[in-house]
Structure 1
């Protein structure tokens, strides 16, 4: 028999009921912290800061997959029938300095849509990210990678791989696909960074407004000068039938694809290089057979140090059983990807980094890219970019090493993410 959530989920544990996602220890080591929470309970109550709205965090692998794959959970609170729920992010965005006019472009993207609306929007861009299309892009990705490595700005023998390689690679690829002109890409990069800074509300608000105005301006230019890119294709869909794609949706699609299309891959590359340097045995194993082991290694990196560690809020449209408890209709819930990816119920010795864990490189048991209807649209492209990046780095710089003490590396303090602020390395002699 299941038990309703009328009591905090702590029985029989005597731990605090509510966990703050901004807790410094949790931000410093989310792998140990969320693993501990997972073993306390399949669901724990969490807040975001002192004034945060309590919500539920799902911690175990099977339950995370259930939340992400069950249609009874929706992304938009407006789709919970009969309750008239407000989106808990709206007030948080105001606190970040984002005006309501522009916050709408973050609250109503393809990532927030449910049901038929989500499928409609996803289908409009899905062909850009098919396995065939991604495979066709590989020569261009390799060329961009080689060019970046040729031009790495070495300063006193040191280069910052996050600043000078991990970021430029994916943002160049996604901007070329979408149709963002080269002259605008630097601004997109700065806007993306601003959105990750929790200590600068003015900068966050200005970044969102800048993105919206930039996309609107580009749409106007593409109407006059069409090109072979995603923006032009979406404009054509909108102009032929506004009921298929509204002007507002066109802007949000471009915004979501460009931001999501470079941030995750950039930090996967940064986290991945550090993980390999931290594990010389695994690095040597990968160097011994990069073509045979790279795909599996990227999967393991997504599991072991993936940049996205929690999903956005979902809302239960009815009472749902999770881990032997009843989650009440309308309750906001997040799925802990990092906790699921380290769940010993699914992964043997999960805190061991092992690039041979998924030897065929095709099977994806981790949930680093999500699961279900909202599975990451650009996952195939992100994997390919990472494979190309790691392959080129290992071949070009076999003596690469960390240029600063390990404890001097810093990360952005944003709950739900795992991102290096920089990664200074010494490249060593080239073969």
Structure 2
């Protein structure tokens, strides 16, 4: 059965993204939870006044994300951007493209992210994690875990993988924060993106002349073969650099805080020597703490039906995966953090052809972090109370701005 939104309901359309409840920073917004209970599909209002459809339930979200009749192209009319377009367009490499061009470009960077390649990096990541903990333990207390550990670890890892000098980390971290800040103006975001693209373009130019053993150098071979333009490689570099450190850094800090707030769960992780238990715990944290704040966004290319709702061609669709991962039809007692749960079906990395390319790397990094940090620093604790920690309510990526800890 199909139903449609009545004009009388216009005034009741809720705004999106929604506000999390005070004192419940790990949970999706209460209004989002209520919408999931009320029905599978709802209109929501974005900051630019547009009213795309919000899909609240796990099965429907997966169906939309796997449907070739919806597009990821943010430059198409009706795409639920929620803000004015950036000068020069919205493309961030292949992430906002559709097949076949999306698949063509994505294939060029899949090899370094295979599970086998990523597992070969585990000893190097372990050393990075241990070195950062060593430095933290010999420094002053309290310390901001974000600056001392959560941000440097994935930044060092992605720099090594891409072939980006870590000495430039302040530059790309500062500009990345602007790109993903929801309250940044289109001009600010475009300027930050321009600085990052210019930086990567210069780096690509140097690697074309003197290639190394890294991902960007490998892509430069594609330029010389005529498969890619130099500008394509620079854009891919920006995408991988931002995604490779921002998301994992926030997940490390937010996950650590959640574990400190759930000491009985933390004890399970601290006491185990089983890599399988650690891997399962990371999957549950990914389910419970989904950090994408704005949902995954698409626009319908033709009429489709989702959860009994007819969505017309040209209408926007948003899949807030945080609430999809809390669907009681899929996960029992979904608002409880349970590190023994089989949470592998979560949609934290999306679903379908656009699911996160770097998920094997993120998983491995989180496994190394959480199997090491809490054993080496067993008395780790947050200094301020939960209500005093500054959470990132204004960004496309959710997390904490800082996390003062001691031991």
Q: For residue 373 of structure 2, what is the aligned residue in structure 1?
A: 393
Match of 1:2 in 2: 2
Aligned to 2:84: 92
Counterpart-to-counterpart distance in 1, 2:129 and 2:152: 9
Distance 1:344 1:93, change over 3 A: same
Tell me the equivalent position of 1:33: 31
Alignment of 1:411 onto 2:386: no
Distance in 1 (CA, whole Å) between partners of 2:256 and 2:71 is: 35
**Deviation of the 1:224 alpha carbon:** 1.8
How far has the Cα of 1:246 moved from its partner? 2.4
Is contact 2:161–2:215 with CA below 8 Å preserved after alignment? Answer: yes
Matches of 2:49 and 2:279, distance apart in 1: 40
How far apart are 1:155 and its partner, in Å? 6.7
Residues 1:164 and 2:170 aligned together: no
Give the match for residue 152 of structure 1. 136
Structure 2 match to 1:267? 250
Where in structure 2 are the equivalents of 1:204-215 lying within 5 Å? 204-215=189-200
Which of these residues, 14, 19, 22, is aligned with residue 19 of structure 1? 14
Q: Equivalent of 2:97, from 108, 113, 119?
A: 113
Does structure 2 conserve the Cα–Cα contact (< 8 Å) formed by 1:35 and 1:343? no
TM-score (norm 2): 0.92
Q: Find the residue that maps to 2:299 and give its secondary structure.
A: strand
Specify whether residues 366 and 22 from structure 1 end up closer, same or farther in structure 2 by C-alpha distance, changes over 3 A only.
closer
Q: Deviations over 1:192-248 (max 9, x none)?
A: 22224345536534321210110111111112221111111111111211xx32233
Aligned partner of 2:176 among 192, 200, 212: 192
For residues 200 and 398 of structure 1, the distance between their equivalents in structure 2, rounded to whole angstroms, comes to 39
* 153 and 213 in structure 1: CA distance in 2 versus 1, 3 angstrom threshold: farther
Q: Is the 8 A contact 2:79 2:315 kept in 1?
A: no
Find the counterpart in structure 2 of residue 280 from structure 1.
263
Q: Which residue of the partner structure matches residue 73 of structure 2? A: 76
> Structure 2: 5+ residue runs without aligned partners?
none
Kept in 1, the 8 Å contact 2:390–2:402? The answer is yes
Aligned-residue offset at 1:9: 11
Deviations 1:7-60, CA, capped at 9 Å, x for gaps: 3697xxxx96321125545796534332112112211222233x3322111100
Distance 1:256 1:327 in 2: 30
**Do residues 238 (structure 1) and 223 (structure 2) align?**
yes
Q: Give the distance between the partners of 1:22 and 1:367, measured in 2 at CA.
A: 18
Q: CA 1:8–1:260 in 2, change beyond 3 Å: closer, same or farther? A: farther
Secondary structure, aligned partner of 2:44: strand
Query: CA separation in 2, counterparts of 1:108 and 1:403?
Result: 38
Q: How far does the alpha carbon of each residue in 1:301-355 deviate from its partner, in whole angstroms, 9 at most, with x for none?
A: 0010121244342111211111111111111111010111011111101011100
Structure 1 residue 60 corresponds to structure 2 residue 57: yes
Contact 1:43–1:58 under 8 Å retained in 2:
yes
1:236 aligned counterpart, secondary structure = helix
Contact 2:201 2:231 in 1 (8 A): no
Question: Is residue 72–residue 316 contact of structure 1 (8 Å, CA) maintained in 2?
Answer: yes
Aligned residues: 402
- Specify the alignment match of 2:357 in structure 1: 377
Cross-structure match for 2:400: 420
CA–CA distance in structure 2, aligned partners of residues 188 and 77 of structure 1: 24
Question: RMSD of the alignment, in Å?
Answer: 2.3
Q: 1:182 to 1:287 in 2, by over 3 A?
A: closer
1:19–1:46 Cα contact (<8 Å) kept = yes
Matched-pair contact (CA < 8 Å) for 1:8–1:17 = no
Residues in 2 aligned to 1:228 and 1:70: alpha-carbon distance in whole angstroms: 37
SS in structure 2 at match of 1:111? helix
**TM-score normalised by length of structure 1:** 0.87
User: Does structure 1 residue 295 correspond to structure 2 residue 279?
Assistant: yes
Q: Is the 8 A contact 1:26 1:34 kept in 2?
A: no
In the aligned structure 2, how far is the partner of 1:199 from the partner of 1:309? Answer: 13
Cα distance change, pair 180–252 in 1 and its aligned pair in 2 (3 A): same
SS in 1 for 2:62: helix
Using the alignment, how far apart are the partners of 1:372 and 1:304 within structure 2? 21
**3-state SS of 1:326 partner:** strand
| Separation (CA, whole Å) in 2 of partners of 1:208 and 1:415 | 16
Describe how 1:343-354 pairs up with structure 2 within 5 A.
343-354=327-338
Distance 1:93 1:420, change over 3 A: farther
